[in-house]
Amino acid sequence: MSVVSAVEKVQQAYERMASADRPEVWIALRDESDVLAEARALDARVAAGERLPLAGVLVAVKDNIDVAGLSTTAGCPAFAYAPEADAPSVARLRAAGAIVLGKTNLDQFATGLVGTRSPYGAVRNAWQPDRISGGSSSGSAVAVALSFVDIALGTDTAGSGRVPAALNGIYGIKPSVGLVPTTGVVPACWSIDVVTVFARDLGLGRLAAETMEGADGIDPLVRVAEPGPGLGAAPRVAIPTVEHLEGLAPGWAEAFQGVVERLAASGVDVVEVDIAPLLDAAALLYGGAFVAERTAAVGDFIRQNAELIGGEIDPTVATIVGGGERFTAIDAFRDRERLRRLGLAGARLLEGTDALLTPTTTWHPTLAEVAADPIGANARMGRYTNFANLLDYASLAVPAGTVGGFPFGVMLTAPAFSDRRLAELARRIGDAQIDILVVGAHLTGQPLGHQLIAAGGRFSRRVRTSQSYRLHALPTVPPKPGLRRVEREGYAIEGEVWTLPAHGFGAFVASLPQPMTIGRVALEDGTAVAGFLAEPVVFEDAPDISGYGGWLAYLARDQSAE
C-alpha cells in the first residue's frame, strides 16, 4: 500500500481550503510554498530512516498560542505581538514531525463558548453555516472537521476545547490541568488554562496530547502524570439524574439515552448520580470571584484601549473581563473555600465510578440567536464543562452521531490523570467507522452532500479508483453518474472517501434509490472501500464520460465542445 507523502498532504489541504470558502477559520495562514518546502525536507528525513511519530501530521494552532514566525493576536489585532519562539506545545509537535499550517480564529482572549466574538469574523459551523461553531477554539475545531488539518490545538478554561468539538462532530481532548505547559499561551485564567487537541481520530489526538506533556522549566504549574488505574473488567460510569438533563435541545435527551444504552450493552455499569455540587461549582467560574483572573490577564490592556471597544475589542468580551473588577480579595477566598467544599461533595458522589458521562453542551444555537442574546446564549453552553478545570478533572468530548442533521456529542469527565482511562471508555461509545467512496452528487459542494453529513459523515480524503472503472452520466434528478467495474479499457476515476458511523452508514444505504447500489471499489493505492456503483441495466443509454476522469471535471467541461 502506498503512503501519502507530506508534500501530497499539504497540496491536498490547500486545495481543500481553496474550494471550501471558509476564510474566517484562519487569522494567519502560512504561504503554501513555504509549507511545501518544509514538507519536502520532512519527506527526505523520513526517507533517510528518521523515526518521527507525527511525520506529516498537519496542524492548526489557536491564535492565543505562540508559533514562531506568525503573530499572536488572541483574536485582537491591537494586542498582536511577534513571538520569538514556538510555545512548548507547538515545538514538541514539530519535533515529532508535525507541520503547522497556520493560526486559527477564536473568541477574543479565549472568552466565550460560541465562536462569534472576534473582529476576524464569526466562525460558522462546519456542517451548518447558519449555526455557531462553538468557542473559544472555534477555528481550530472547524479546521479539523473540514479536514484542512489532521489535528488542531485549542485551549480550554471553561469548555473551549470541548464544546466546539461536540458541535462539529469531532473529538475534543482536554488533558488534566498542568500536564501540558502553558508557556507561550496568552492566559485566560492562568491557574486553570489547558492546551487541548481536536482530532477526527482519537488515537492520533491522544498521541499528540501525550507528545506535548512534560516540564519545560518555565511553567511552574506543570506536573507529571501520576500512574492511575486503567479501566477494569466491569467499568462503572455515572450519569446525571433526569432533573439535571432538563433543558436539552430537542432530541438530545433521547440521543444521550442511546449512548447510555450502548455503554450498558458493552458491559459498563451505569448509575445515576446527583451532580448538583458540580453544577454549583461550574456557576462559580463566571458568577464568582474566579472571573477576576481573566481581569488580571487582559484587563489592563482593555482598560488602556477602551476607545477600541466595539471595534477591535469585542464589547461582550470587554464586559465579561471588566466584571472581575467588582470582586475583592475577601470574595476570592470565600469562593475558593466554597469551591473546595463543592468539590469534595462531588467527589464523594462519584466515588466508585470510572467517569461521569454527560452531554457535552445543552444546545446548538444559530448565529442569530447568539447575536440576540450573546451572554445568555453563551451561558447555556458551559453547563457541563465549566467545573472541570476548577475542580481538577480531565475530560474528553466524544462525537456521538447526529440529531436532526446536526452533530451531537457526549463528554466523559474524571479526576486528574484519568486521561487514558477516559480514552478507553470513549472507544466503547464511538460507533464502528465505515469508509465510503462517492464519485458524483454526494461530492463536496454537490446537491446530495448533505445526506452524508446528516448520517454523521466526515470528509476523509480525495482519491482515485484503480484503472478498472468507467463512469456514465445517468438521466436522474438531480444529475448523477454511475460507476461500473470493467475487465479492460478502464479509467481511474476521481472521488472522495467519507467516514460514517456504522449506524449512520446503515441508514444511509437503506435510503438509496434505484439504480444506485453499494459495493467494494478498488482504489489507486491498492486498498478497497465501500463505494457507489449502479445496476448494469442503467448503462445502456447513459453516455460514457470516463475520459473526463471524474464527475466534477465533466460538469466543468467546455460547453461548446459537447
* pLDDT beyond 90 at 97: yes
List all residues 6 or more positions away from 350 whose beta carbon is below 8 Å from its beta carbon. 238, 273, 356, 414
Distance of CA 120 to CAs 19, 50, 82, 83, 309, Å? 20, 40, 18, 20, 14
The CATH class of 6-225+234-407+415-430 is alpha beta
What are the backbone dihedrals phi and psi of residue 517, each rounded to the nearest 5 degrees, phi first? -140, 170
List all residues 6 or more positions away from 109 whose beta carbon is below 8 Å from its beta carbon. 64, 74, 75, 76, 79, 186, 188, 294, 297, 298, 317, 321
Distance CA 337, CA 342 (A): 9
Q: What is the pLDDT of residue 128?
A: 84
* Cβ atoms of residues 412 and 404 within 8 Å: no
CATH architecture of 434-561: Roll (3.10)
Q: What is the pLDDT of residue 520?
A: 86
**Domain extent listing, the chain:** 6-225+234-407+415-430, 434-561
The H or E element that residue 88 is part of is: helix 88-95
Percentage of residues in the chain with pLDDT exceeding 90? Answer: 79
* pLDDT beyond 80 at 541: yes
Residues with active-site annotation = 62, 136, 160
Closest residue by Cα to residue 435 from 460, 405, 468: 460
Output the furthest CA–CA distance in the chain (Å, rounded): 83
Model pTM score: 0.83
Distance CA 485, CA 491 (A): 10
Label each residue of 409-455 as H, E or C: EEEEEEECCCHHHHHHHHHHHCCCEEEEEECCCCCCCCCCHHHHHHC
List all residues 6 or more positions away from 279 whose beta carbon is below 8 Å from its beta carbon. 244, 383, 387
Q: What is the pLDDT of residue 562?
A: 46
Q: What is the pLDDT of residues 454-487, one digit of tens each?
A: 777 878 889 999 999 999 999 888 899 999 999 9
| Helix boundaries (H) for 225-291 | 252-265, 276-287
Higher per-residue confidence, 233 vs 321: 321
Neighbouring-strand partners of residue 421: none
Q: What is the pLDDT of residue 2?
A: 43
* Cβ atoms of residues 358 and 239 within 8 Å: yes
Locus of grid cell 467516514 = 499
Q: What is the pLDDT of residues 396-448, one digit of tens each?
A: 999 988 787 788 999 999 999 999 999 999 988 865 678 899 999 999 888 88
Distance of CA 295 to CAs 290, 338, 448, 518, Å? 9, 21, 48, 57
DSSP code for 52: -
167 alpha carbon, distance to own chain's centre: 8
Burial 317-340 (b: 16+ CB within 10 A, else e): bbebbbbbeebeeeebeebeeebe
- The DSSP annotation for 467-514 comes to S-EEEEEE--SS-EEEEEE-SSS-B--EEEEEEEEHHHHHHHHHTPPT
Amino acid at 547: G
> How confident is residue 506, by pLDDT bands cut at 50, 70 and 90?
low
> How confident is residue 1, by pLDDT bands cut at 50, 70 and 90?
very low
Q: What is the pLDDT of residues 33-71, one digit of tens each?
A: 999 999 999 999 999 999 999 999 999 999 999 999 999
* Cβ atoms of residues 355 and 414 within 8 Å: yes
Q: What is the pLDDT of residue 560?
A: 41
Measured from the Cβ of residue 526, the count of other Cβ atoms closer than 10 Å reads: 9
